[in-house]
Chains A and B, each alone.
Chain A
């Protein structure tokens, strides 16, 4: 392919509309994709990203409007489109019981790649994806990142003009994600147009062009810099805060001129409504605001009219936890609420978690950060009693999880990944069930149920089956069920992955306020944004804790001359690489 392909319009969307039963998945979306560029298709889960990609492949037809892909009309000539594009769906159809090489062979057969060309193409792709060493390994045994690379290799077997990637970054650790990104960048140099869909707004900033979807509507189309320009000079980093940063954030968010704010380590990042410097009376003495580089997410929130306020009625209604717990004398203030002592878990000869220890104090948010499969879920499960450790012990609110499991469970709230609720039950029935299971009855139960229904605004949806709810509401319901019994410790497993930023802020407003009331939080995440909300983080890699400290400490640890102000992701990558280096030296 030559440079002529660069800048050629590959896809033209004109007023594309798609309905599914009652929901409008895409609402008159128009835009273009060009060759030689990475176009980011950005938006939270349920925004319509996958639908738009499937429409581009011609696998689905729009209800209204038209798509022209590589000069073919998707309604008239879908076969023409499918022959010349590469498409990698969210879960690429790799055959887990076949080896890497067998998968490549199979897809080469399916795509009709001539035998004569195969050795060269395989050679090139295996070198490109760095999978050469693993050709004999079963695809099911590859890590998330390697699976995505193999998927990409299969999609590239017949060099396409247009490559559609549906959330290639999901389930992939930051290091592999960067490698994947580099591979895709190389492709654009050959003139290939790439569509990279993602729910992570930070990925949008690296794209050449961005299509921002929210609730089926196209909010923005153009260069990411144009998007961030709208909040230029309105983003500040407030540091030097004395006192409780979360209380300060809550007060700042209720100020008139401030439309958005998030915790960033020890500092707070705020977006103001106009160009004036923020009034920092609320931040206390010594606090200073320094202008910061605007991010895509700041602009997105601004576009949606600002984030939620800083008040959490959920926390206001809750009695604070002090050191003295009702009824049990164990609760001295010094005693950590969650304790891990040398937690180890082995499955056969595989060590999923090795000698993990930490203490979480009352009113602290502690994060377990790490790539998928590193052992953070195993550690998390051992601490909430879902897995029995092979060695070591875990305690919640002073109760040994092995001996007093039931007492410990009464004091913890659990929110699983993907909001595992009973889909066939209505909101009210779900709340009723969780209240009952945690032993609430009579007046107390009615009171709590009314309270959470008011706070989370369930009233209108109370009778609807929870499986039919929009994602944001599902997440609120999951939180409501987890805090119904006013737990001392909250266990959150990837609580906001894929959720839109407004819902995420609302969620963290509640969590922050609950923490101020003395609730202790353990959260797992592979999402760097979320890590910033934590007081301390344990970085889990290959079953071991390779670093433990506050986000600022971890960042400071890797700061260097080349990288004076590393992001959480930079810190993560540097710490993992350092640990790999040490492992090699030791060997």
Chain B
């Protein structure tokens, strides 16, 4: 009996979302497009930057330095000037991100074995990129310094570091980006589909129709929960396929763990969606509510900025963010063989969030009858 009712509701939910060709297109097209665009475009790497060089030195070492900078693939173009005012203007107008000022005694100091100074001017408005460019330039000058006579003499006494990046040896940014996108696009889809579902019924007046039917509140919740979760799983599957076959991600862990954990992740996302939906009277409010949750959820998930870097008082807030936990699982499964224990440790909070939000949604429903 309850199964007949529930099946009818689930079939209806699917039809309501997918029967309209426009609704179908919106649900399938943009998310896949987003995956493609963001994976190729949203890179944190610094490439194709322009730098300027103000060289007051006529010696061999400054020539050597300039040649090495020009040879680096990171820099698109290297401009030269002799006028400090021109340099100031170029940075101001964002024509270049950095300027290297080579002093008149640069080569002489090196030859003499004395400390040689190099000035680096960076555009602090683009702090992230500037930092990375500064890193690149420092590497180049460090290599140069090692070849100077003084450097050669000192080589025996200095500590040299050899960096190796585990899990992503070439630091391919797509290996970082695609798992993040899998989790966050699933969040977007799950949240919007559920947030709209009840608000739409309220607007149409069909919600009363549901409430006078023999469906119990928990059946309505389950009926509203299953279709968005299945749509979410469909998207996750498409993204996993794209990650492996299109972007060549390694997929080192167990797919079973990934799917198992994603069920709980989607349940918690849909729970939040239902809670927002139960709270809002119109579809407009529901959409607004969904975005009100989504933007902070993205920023406070550890997606772009590590949670450990956030201020101490803010870090506990991220504990209620399902994206935070699922990101660890997705990256773990793709880039390293994440252990079962760690997956469980990340999934238990998802389960708790799902239970809390779904109970809150059920409570709100019942209260609306008052």
Task: Report the minimum CB–CB distance from B24 to chain A (whole Å).
Answer: 11
Residue of A nearest to B223 (CB): A437
Q: Is the CB of A425 within 8 A of B216?
A: no
Task: Give chain B residues whose Cβ lies under 8 Å from the Cβ of A418.
Answer: 205
- Set A420, A437, A465: member contacting B9, Cβ < 8 A: A437
Task: Give chain B residues whose Cβ lies under 8 Å from the Cβ of A414.
Answer: 208-209, 212-213
- Set A388, A423, A425, A491: member contacting B212, Cβ < 8 A: A491
Number of A-B contacts (CB under 8 A): 88
CA distance A433 to B204 in the complex (A): 16
B292 within 8 A of A: no
Q: Is the CB of A417 within 8 A of B213?
A: no
A98 within 8 A of B: no
A424 within 8 A of B: yes
Stretch at the interface among A229-237, A283-291, A438-446: A438-446
Q: Is the CB of A420 within 8 A of B11?
A: no
Task: Report the minimum CB–CB distance from A267 to chain B (whole Å).
Answer: 34
B30 within 8 A of A: no
Residue of B nearest to A418 (CB): B205
B215 within 8 A of A: yes
Given known A-B contacts A433-B11, A439-B1, A386 and B208 have beta carbons under 8 A apart: yes
Q: Is the CB of A437 within 8 A of B212?
A: no
Q: Is the CB of A436 within 8 A of B4?
A: yes
CA distance A388 to B212 in the complex (A): 13
B20 within 8 A of A: yes
CA distance A414 to B210 in the complex (A): 10
- Set B1, B19, B206, B213: member contacting A420, Cβ < 8 A: B206
CA distance A387 to B209 in the complex (A): 13
Given known A-B contacts A418-B205, A422-B16, A424-B20, A437 and B369 have beta carbons under 8 A apart: no
Task: Give chain B residues whose Cβ lies under 8 Å from the Cβ of A435.
Answer: 8
CA distance A388 to B216 in the complex (A): 16
Q: Is the CB of A432 within 8 A of B8?
A: yes
B211 within 8 A of A: yes
B12 within 8 A of A: yes
Stretch at the interface among A258-266, A405-413, A448-456: A405-413
Task: Report the minimum CB–CB distance from B176 to chain A (whole Å).
Answer: 40
B370 within 8 A of A: yes
CA distance A432 to B165 in the complex (A): 58
- The main secondary structure of chain B at its interface with chain A is helix
What is the size, in residues, of chain B's interface with A at 8 Å between Cβ atoms?
Answer: 27
Task: Give chain A residues whose Cβ lies under 8 Å from the Cβ of B208.
Answer: 381, 386, 414, 416, 420
B29 within 8 A of A: no
Q: Is the CB of B19 within 8 A of A425?
A: yes
Task: Give chain A residues whose Cβ lies under 8 Å from the Cβ of B26.
Answer: none
Task: Report the minimum CB–CB distance from A384 to chain B (whole Å).
Answer: 5
Encode B1-40 as 1/0 by CB contact (under 8 A) with A.
Answer: 1001101110110011001100100000000000000000
A429 within 8 A of B: yes
Q: Is the CB of A436 within 8 A of B11?
A: yes
CA distance A10 to B142 in the complex (A): 93
Given known A-B contacts A388-B370, A439-B5, A424 and B213 have beta carbons under 8 A apart: no
Task: Give chain A residues whose Cβ lies under 8 Å from the Cβ of B12.
Answer: 422, 425, 429, 433
A421 within 8 A of B: yes
Q: Is the CB of A387 within 8 A of B215?
A: no
21 A-B pairs with CB atoms under 8 Å apart are A385-B211, A385-B369, A386-B212, A386-B369, A387-B369, A409-B213, A416-B205, A420-B205, A420-B206, A420-B208, A425-B16, A432-B8, A433-B12, A434-B213, A436-B4, A436-B7, A437-B9, A437-B213, A439-B214, A465-B19, A491-B212
**A residues in contact (CB < 8 Å) with B:** 381, 384-388, 406, 409-410, 412, 414, 416-418, 420-426, 429, 432-441, 465, 491
